[in-house]
Amino acid sequence: MQAWRFEGGFGFESLRRVELPDPVPGPRDVLLSMRAASLNYRDLVVLRGQHGRRVQPPLIPLSDGVGAVAAVGAEVTELKPGDRVCPAFFQNWEADAPPADLEAGRLGGPLDGVLATACVFPETGVVRVPDHLSDAEAATLPCAGLTAWSALMAAPQVQPGETVLILGTGGVALMAVQLARAAGARVIVTTSSPGRAARVAALGADHVIDRSATPDWAAEMQRLCPGGVDRVLELGGAATLPDAIRVARTGGQIILIGNVTGNEARLFLPAVLVRQLTLRAVTVGHRQGLAALARALDAHRIHPVVGDTFAFEDAPQAFRALEAQGGFGNICIRVTG
Amino acid sequence: MQAWRFEGGFGFESLRRVELPDPVPGPRDVLLSMRAASLNYRDLVVLRGQHGRRVQPPLIPLSDGVGAVAAVGAEVTELKPGDRVCPAFFQNWEADAPPADLEAGRLGGPLDGVLATACVFPETGVVRVPDHLSDAEAATLPCAGLTAWSALMAAPQVQPGETVLILGTGGVALMAVQLARAAGARVIVTTSSPGRAARVAALGADHVIDRSATPDWAAEMQRLCPGGVDRVLELGGAATLPDAIRVARTGGQIILIGNVTGNEARLFLPAVLVRQLTLRAVTVGHRQGLAALARALDAHRIHPVVGDTFAFEDAPQAFRALEAQGGFGNICIRVTG
Amino acid sequence: MQAWRFEGGFGFESLRRVELPDPVPGPRDVLLSMRAASLNYRDLVVLRGQHGRRVQPPLIPLSDGVGAVAAVGAEVTELKPGDRVCPAFFQNWEADAPPADLEAGRLGGPLDGVLATACVFPETGVVRVPDHLSDAEAATLPCAGLTAWSALMAAPQVQPGETVLILGTGGVALMAVQLARAAGARVIVTTSSPGRAARVAALGADHVIDRSATPDWAAEMQRLCPGGVDRVLELGGAATLPDAIRVARTGGQIILIGNVTGNEARLFLPAVLVRQLTLRAVTVGHRQGLAALARALDAHRIHPVVGDTFAFEDAPQAFRALEAQGGFGNICIRVTG
Amino acid sequence: MQAWRFEGGFGFESLRRVELPDPVPGPRDVLLSMRAASLNYRDLVVLRGQHGRRVQPPLIPLSDGVGAVAAVGAEVTELKPGDRVCPAFFQNWEADAPPADLEAGRLGGPLDGVLATACVFPETGVVRVPDHLSDAEAATLPCAGLTAWSALMAAPQVQPGETVLILGTGGVALMAVQLARAAGARVIVTTSSPGRAARVAALGADHVIDRSATPDWAAEMQRLCPGGVDRVLELGGAATLPDAIRVARTGGQIILIGNVTGNEARLFLPAVLVRQLTLRAVTVGHRQGLAALARALDAHRIHPVVGDTFAFEDAPQAFRALEAQGGFGNICIRVTG
C-alpha cells in the first residue's frame, strides 16, 4: 500500500511518501480501501512535533478519513465489503466514560492514522456513513463532526429554543452551526471577517457577529441576548474564555474545545460561582456518538463544508493550507479516484 | 365577573353561567383578564362527574387558558399589567420531581379552572406566552402543548436524527409532531382517516400511516423502521400498548400519556425485558417546562392547531364538540373579544 | 480442556461432560483458566430448552464465572497472566445504549458459556475482580451482581435517604440489599419465609416483610412508607407488578427485572399515569457497569452471598439445586481447586 | 420582635440590636419563632460591606437558621404550628434550573435574614427538619449543608465506590465528608493542621492529608489514587484549583465552591482538555435539594458538626469567631432558649 509517514522526525522534511506491506485484517477486523482524509488543527501540532512524548515517528498522520470495506475477518458480523465507514478518532472509547488512558487509542498519533491507501481496524472501531455524503464530506466526521456533536449533546443536551453561541468559523464551528440548527437551537456565531460572516449566515446561523466591525462582541451578545446564552462553544482559548463567561446565562454551560489563542486562561471565579456556570471540556467524543452523528446528518441531509481539497500525492500542500488558515471549511485529501 | 360553573352536580344540566364577585389578588398574585380557553379530554371526564372524589362542585371548569395581566400585587416583580400569560396546569409543580399530592394543584378540578372572565394566580403560577400566537393558540399551551413537550424532553431527551412515533392526531399529538420536527427528529404518525393523514403530513410529519388503509400499523412500522423506533408517544391506551411495545427499539422509550382506548392494558413482560424498554408516564408537566415550551414555540414560530372555536356564551357547545371528536385541532373558547 | 456441554438437545440427559481442544487466544484475547461459575434462573430456562430458537446445542452453559488469566495475545495491554477476571454477561455491550442485537452477545447461549476449565475472551470483554472475594463470590458478579447494580444506578440513580423496596430474596435481591445499603438507601425486602427474613435482616435490610405472616405486603408497605417508595426492584413478574405499582410514590421508578410469577401482567394505566411512574426494564447491564460494581464491592468489602456449592464433576446437581429453590444465596460450582 | 440589623452601614459598628414590629404572615405564609442561626463565610463578606450594590442596610443578617412554626396563613396546607423548619437560602429557587435573577431571592442580603426572634416565609420557602437534630445542628442546613449535598449530587451524582477529594475542613467540607460516606464514596480530605486531621478522620474520612506535614498534597494524592479522583470539592479558590485539576481523573468533575484563597485563578487549558474535565460551579442549591438533604440526614442519623455557639445577645462575637477561623464546625447562635 501507499502511505505518507513521518520518518525519523517530524516537520515537512520528515513527511515521506512510502510503500508499505498491505495490512492484514485479523478475525474481528475490517480492511479498508481509503477514499479520503481530512485535516484538523491537531494534525499541525503533530507535524510540528509538539504533541508530546507518546507521539513518535514512524507515524502515519491524520485521524480523519473514510474508506470502503475491502475485506472482513472471519468473525465480523455487522459489516461487508463495499460498506463505506469512518474509523473512530479514539479507537478505545465506545461510549460513556472515557478510559483512563484515552490518549493511547488516538489515530494519527500515537496510533498510525489514515493517510494511506489501506487501513485495518477492529469492526468495533468504525461507523457506517450516510450515502448522501461525498467522500471528502464523510472524511470530516471523526474529529470535526463528532466534536461539534459532542459539544451540543453534552448533558444537559441542547433543547429546541435555546441559544447557542459558537466562537469562530473553523471546521468544528461550521458543523456545529448546522447541527445546532437541526436540534432546534437559535445560533449565533462570531467571526473575524465579513466574507465568512456571509457564508456562515448562508449556512443557517440566525445571527453573525463580525468582530472586524464589532470588536466588543461580548457587549453585542449582551444586547442580543440580555438573559445570557444557554451554551457557548468555546473554540478560542485563553483570549476568549473571559468573554465567554461574561455572556453565559445563570446556570449556563461553556463547552471548552479549543486553545488556539493560548493555553493559560484567566478564570475569574466570582463570575463562574455567582452564575453557577459549568465549564465542560469536550475532546472529540466516543464511537456511539459518531454513529448518532451519522444518523443525524442522514436525517437532515446535512453536508459538512469542505474547503480546499488536494490529491494524495500533494498531501504536504494540505498541511500548508491548514497552516495558512485562509480557507473556509475542512481541508481534505482525496486518497482514491 | 362572569364564569361557567358546575353547580350542585356535574353534567351539562349543572353547567351554569354565573355572576361571581371579582377575585382580588394578594400581594404575590396577579389578576388576569381571561382571553381564551381550550378544552382537553380530561375536561369531559370532569363534566361526566368521573374524576373521583376530590373534584366536586361548585367548580369552574377547564385547565387551559390565557389572559392578560390586569393588576399585580404589591410584591410582584416579574410581571406587569398587559403581559399575556398562561397559568400552569399544576399550580404546585415548579420543576423536577412532582410533589406527593400533585393532584391538589390541578386547575379545572379540584382547583377552580379558567372558564371565567377573570382569574387570580400567584405570580409563580403563570408563564408569559409568545407574541406570535393568537389567544386561542396560546390557550392550548398549558395541557396539550406541555404534555407534548414533556413527552419529547423526558430523559433521555429526543436527539436529532431519532425517530419518534406518535399514535393519533389529537391535540397533544399534533403539537408533538411540530415539536419533534423542531427538535430534529424523524416523525411518524398513525391516524384513523385519510383526511387527517393529509393534514398531519402538511404539518410536517415525515410519514403518516392511515390505519383505515393499513390496519396492522405495527407491521408497517417494522417495515419502515426495521431497527425499531427510539420513542413512542403512546396516546392510545390498552388497545395500542402491545403494538407500541412491538415496534420500539432495544433500549427504546414508550411515553405513556393516554388511556382513551381502555384502562386495563396487557403487558407481556418478556418483550419489555428482552428489549430493555422504559415505559414512562408523562402527565402534562411542570411550570419550567411550560416556560421552555413557550420559548421553543417562539423560536420556531410554531402555531398550535386550533379547531372549532366557540364564544364564551356558547361554552357548553364546546364540550359537545369535544364529545363528538370530529374535528382537527384543539377546541377553544373565546372569553373576550 | 474439560467442559459440560448440551449435546444434541437440552435437558439433563443432554448435558454431557466432554473433553475439547484447548481454546487459543487471538492477538487481542485472553485465555482464562476458569476457577468458579455461578447459576442464574435463566440457566434453567436454557436447560429446559425454552430459550428460543437462537440458543442451540452444542452449547456450553452458564454466563457467570471467574477465571485467572493464563495467557494473553500479542496486542493485549491492560491484563497480564495471574489477573483474576470475570467475563461480561453481554460480550457486545460496553456502555450506554445496548446494541440492536444485544442477544447475540450473551454468554451461556447463544454464545458458549463458562462451565469449562478454559475460556477465551477479548480483552475488552472481561473485568478485573476485587481481591477480597473468594472465587465463588466473584463468580456471581456478571449476572446477579450486575443486575442489582444496574437496577440501583438506572437514572435517576438511587440517592442517600431514598427508600428501595426489593421484592424477594434470590441472588439479585440479596446483592441489591447490600448495594442499596452501600448507596445510603433505606432498604425494605419482602420474603416468603421467616428463616429468610432473619438472614436478610442480618445482611442489612432496614425492614423485612415476611409474606407468610403478612400476606398483604402492599398494605404493610403503605403503612411503613405512606408517601410511597422511591424505587421498587420488581423481581416477581405478573403476580407482583400491580402491588409494586400500588406502593410507589408519585414520580417513582419500578425496575422490571423478573417474570418468575408469570409473563402476562395486568397494567392498570390510570395508576401509572396519575402517579407518573416509570417502569424500566433492566437486563443485567454493560461492561462499564460491571467494572463499577467491582469497584463498589471493593470499597465496601461486600461479600456476595454464596449458597450451595458443587464440584465441577457434580455440575448437574447444581442445576437440580437451582430447580429446588430451597437455598439462600447464589448456587456455585468450583471449577478448579 | 427582637433582631440584629445593619443600620446606616455595614461593619460591627453598624450591627445593632433592634426592636421591630412583629411580622404578619399572609395567606400562604408561615410565621416562625426562630430557634437558632448559623454563620457562613459569606456573612463576613456582608458584614464587611463587600457584597455589592444590591445588599444594602437596613438589613437583618444571616441566611441560615431554624424556627418553629408559630402561626400559619389561611391557605397553608402542608405545615402546622409546632413544625420545625429551615427557610431555603434562595427563596426563589424551587428546583432544577436557577432563575435568571437568582441573587434577588437570597436571605441575609438582599433579603432580610434570620437573626431575629421571628420571621415570615412563604410556605413554599421552608423545609421540615429531622427530629434527631439539635436546633444548632438544624440551623446549619440551608447553606453549609445544602452546598455539600449539591456538590455531591451534581450530575453525574457520586456513585458508591467512587473517590471524592474534599479540600479543607470548613463547615461545607465537614458536612461533605459525612454525606459522601453516606453515599458510599471513598473520602479523602486535605487539612492544614494535625488537630483537624484527627477530627476529620473521626468523622469518617478514609484518608486525611495534613498539608502541614505534606505540603505537596497533590503529589500525595497521585500516589494514593494513581488513576485520579472522580470528584474534587474545590473549596479553596485560586491557590488550589491548579492542583485540583492535576489530581482529577480523565472525565472527572471539579466542583467549584469557594474562592477564599483568591478570585483570579489560572486555568491551564490543555490539562482540562486532555482529561475532559468538567468544572462545575455549585452555589448552595435549591429547595428540593434541601428537602432531600434533610431526608438523607434523617436516614443516616447524621449530626452536622457545630463549633462555637453564642447567645442571641452576643451575636457580634459570633462574627468575631468566624473572622478568627480558629474553630472546628459551624459557628451558631441560639436565638431562643
pLDDT at A337: 56
Q: Are the beta carbons of A35 and A67 closer than 8 angstroms?
A: yes
pLDDT at B327: 85
**Distance between CA atoms of residues A80 and A68, nearest Å:** 10
Q: Are the beta carbons of A224 and A247 closer than 8 angstroms?
A: no
Per-residue pLDDT reduced to its tens digit, D162-212: 999 999 999 999 999 999 999 999 999 999 889 999 999 999 999 999 999
Backbone angles phi, psi at B125, to 5 degrees: -110, 10
Q: How far C91 CA sits from the closest chain B CA (Å)?
A: 16
The answer on B176 and B311 residing in a single domain is no
Q: Are the beta carbons of B272 and B279 closer than 8 angstroms?
A: yes
Q: Extract the residue ranges of chain A whose pLDDT is less than 70.
A: 337
Mean pLDDT of C98-107: 93
C-alpha cell at A172: 468544528
Domain boundary residue, one of A236, A251, A281: A281
**Distance between CA atoms of residues C30 and D18, nearest Å:** 77
In a domain, B150, yes or no: no
> Quick one: DSSP state of residue A136?
H
Torsion of CA B207, B210, B215, B217, to 10 degrees: 20
State what percent of residues in chain A have pLDDT above 90: 94
Name the packing angle between helices C171-182 and C146-153 (round to 10°).
50
Minimal Cβ distance to D227: which of A100, A272, A276: A100
Contact C100 B250 (CB under 8 A): yes
Please report how many Cα atoms fall inside a 13 Å half-sphere around the Cα of residue B136, on the Cβ side: 16
pLDDT at B270 over 70: yes
Per-residue pLDDT reduced to its tens digit, A165-186: 999 999 999 999 999 999 999 9
Per-residue pLDDT reduced to its tens digit, B6-32: 999 999 999 999 999 999 999 999 999
In a domain, C225, yes or no: yes
Per-residue pLDDT reduced to its tens digit, C171-185: 999 999 999 999 999
The answer on B313 and B294 residing in a single domain is yes
Helix (H, G, I), strand (E, B) or coil at D247: helix
The answer on A236 and A211 residing in a single domain is yes
Q: How far is CA C81 from the centre of its chain?
A: 27
Minimal Cβ distance to D292: which of C161, C183, C295: C161
Q: Are the beta carbons of D113 and D88 closer than 8 angstroms?
A: no
The answer on D159 and D126 residing in a single domain is no
pLDDT at B109 over 90: yes
Minimal Cβ distance to A299: which of B161, B292, B299: B161
State what percent of residues in chain D have pLDDT above 90: 94
Residue among D286, C156, D142, D124 nearest B93 (CA): D124
In a domain, D235, yes or no: yes
Which chain C residue is nearest to residue D291, measuring alpha carbons? C161
In a domain, D150, yes or no: no
User: What proportions of chain C, in percent to the nearest 5, are helix, strand and coil?
Assistant: 30, 30, 40
In a domain, A150, yes or no: no
Residue among B248, B55, B69 nearest B167 (CA): B248
Q: What is the phi-psi region of residue B190: left when phi exceeds 0, alpha when psi lies from -120 to 50, beta otherwise? A: beta
pLDDT at B283 over 60: yes
The answer on A319 and A203 residing in a single domain is no
pLDDT at C222: 93
Per-residue pLDDT reduced to its tens digit, D271-301: 999 999 999 999 999 999 999 999 999 999 9
CA distance readout (Å), D292 to B111, C254, D140, D175: 28, 20, 15, 14
pLDDT at C135: 98
pLDDT at C337: 56
Q: How far C270 CA sits from the closest chain B CA (Å)?
A: 6
Q: Hey, how many other C-beta atoms are within 10 angstroms of the C-beta on D2?
A: 15
Q: Are the beta carbons of D6 and D61 closer than 8 angstroms?
A: yes
> Quick one: DSSP state of residue A123?
G
**Distance between CA atoms of residues D127 and C288, nearest Å:** 38
Per-residue pLDDT reduced to its tens digit, C258-313: 888 899 999 999 999 999 999 999 999 999 999 999 999 999 999 999 999 999 99
CA distance readout (Å), C233 to C170, C180, D231, D260, D271: 12, 11, 29, 45, 41
Q: How confident is the model at residue B52 (pLDDT cuts 50, 70, 90)?
A: confident
State what percent of residues in chain B have pLDDT above 90: 94
The answer on B167 and B72 residing in a single domain is no
The answer on A255 and A326 residing in a single domain is no
C-alpha cell at C262: 408469570
Q: Which residues of C touch D179 (CB under 8 A)?
A: 160
One-letter amino acid at D122 equals P
For β-strands D118-122 and D29-38, DSSP reports them as antiparallel
Backbone angles phi, psi at B189, to 5 degrees: -130, 140
Range of the domain at A74: 2-145+285-334
pLDDT at A336: 83
Torsion of CA D284, D285, D288, D293, to 10 degrees: -40
For β-strands C278-281 and C330-334, DSSP reports them as unpaired
Minimal Cβ distance to C95: which of A26, A27, A96: A96
For β-strands A207-210 and A186-191, DSSP reports them as parallel
Contact C257 B273 (CB under 8 A): yes
**Helical (H) or strand (E) element with B31:** strand B29-38
Torsion of CA B283, B289, B294, B296, to 10 degrees: -100
Contacts 24+ apart (CB under 8 A), C218-222: C218/C243, C218/C246, C218/C247, C221/C165, C221/C188, C221/C247, C222/C246, C222/C247
pLDDT at B160: 98
Q: How far A165 CA sits from the closest chain B CA (Å)?
A: 15
Which residues of A make CB contacts under 8 Å with C?
A: 26-28, 77, 94-97, 104, 122, 288
In a domain, C8, yes or no: yes
Q: How far D78 CA sits from the closest chain C CA (Å)?
A: 14
The answer on B181 and B257 residing in a single domain is yes
Q: Are the beta carbons of C141 and C135 closer than 8 angstroms?
A: no
**Distance between CA atoms of residues D151 and B191, nearest Å:** 48
Per-residue pLDDT reduced to its tens digit, C192-231: 889 999 999 999 999 999 999 999 999 999 999 999 999 9
Per-residue pLDDT reduced to its tens digit, D126-140: 999 999 999 999 999
The answer on D6 and D98 residing in a single domain is yes
pLDDT at D337: 56
Contact C300 D157 (CB under 8 A): no
Per-residue pLDDT reduced to its tens digit, D226-273: 999 999 999 999 999 999 999 999 999 999 998 888 999 999 999 999
ipTM for this prediction: 0.95
pLDDT at C115: 98
The answer on A273 and A301 residing in a single domain is no
In a domain, A117, yes or no: yes
Q: Are the beta carbons of A35 and A336 closer than 8 angstroms?
A: yes
Q: How confident is the model at residue D95 (pLDDT cuts 50, 70, 90)?
A: very high
Domain boundary residue, one of A244, A261, A281: A281
Across the B/C interface, how many CB contacts are shorter than 8 Å? 107
Which residues, listed in sequence order, are joined to residue C121 by a DSSP beta bridge?
C30
Minimal Cβ distance to C160: which of D161, D162, D296: D296
| Vertex C295: Cα angle to C290 and C300 (nearest 5) | 125
Chains that touch B (3 or more CB pairs under 8 A): A, C, D
**Distance between CA atoms of residues C70 and C335, nearest Å:** 15
Contact C283 B274 (CB under 8 A): yes
Q: How far C14 CA sits from the closest chain B CA (Å)?
A: 26
The owner of cell 399515569 is C273
Interface test mutation site (partner A, options D278, D282, D284, D286, max chain A beta carbons within 10 A): D278
pLDDT at D101 over 80: yes
What is the CATH classification number for the domain harbouring B254? Answer: 3.90.180.10
pLDDT at B337 over 60: no
In a domain, C150, yes or no: no
C-alpha cell at A153: 449533546
Across the A/C interface, how many CB contacts are shorter than 8 Å? 27
**Distance between CA atoms of residues C186 and C54, nearest Å:** 41
Q: How many domains in chain A?
A: 2
The answer on C250 and C130 residing in a single domain is no
For β-strands D29-38 and D64-72, DSSP reports them as antiparallel
CA distance readout (Å), A287 to A67, A156, A292, B60, D307: 16, 20, 9, 55, 51
Mean pLDDT of C317-325: 94
pLDDT at A255: 98
**Helical (H) or strand (E) element with D118:** strand D118-122
Domain boundary residue, one of A264, A281, A298: A281
Q: Are the beta carbons of B215 and B179 closer than 8 angstroms?
A: no
How would you label D293-331 residue by residue, b for 16+ Cβ within 10 Å and e otherwise? bbbbbbbbebebbbbbbbebeebbebbebbeeeeebbbb
One-letter amino acid at D336 equals T
Minimal Cβ distance to A161: which of B159, B186, B298: B298
Helix (H, G, I), strand (E, B) or coil at D125: helix
Q: Are the beta carbons of D91 and D121 closer than 8 angstroms?
A: yes
The answer on A46 and A127 residing in a single domain is yes
Q: How far is CA C293 from the centre of its chain?
A: 12
| Vertex B231: Cα angle to B228 and B234 (nearest 5) | 110
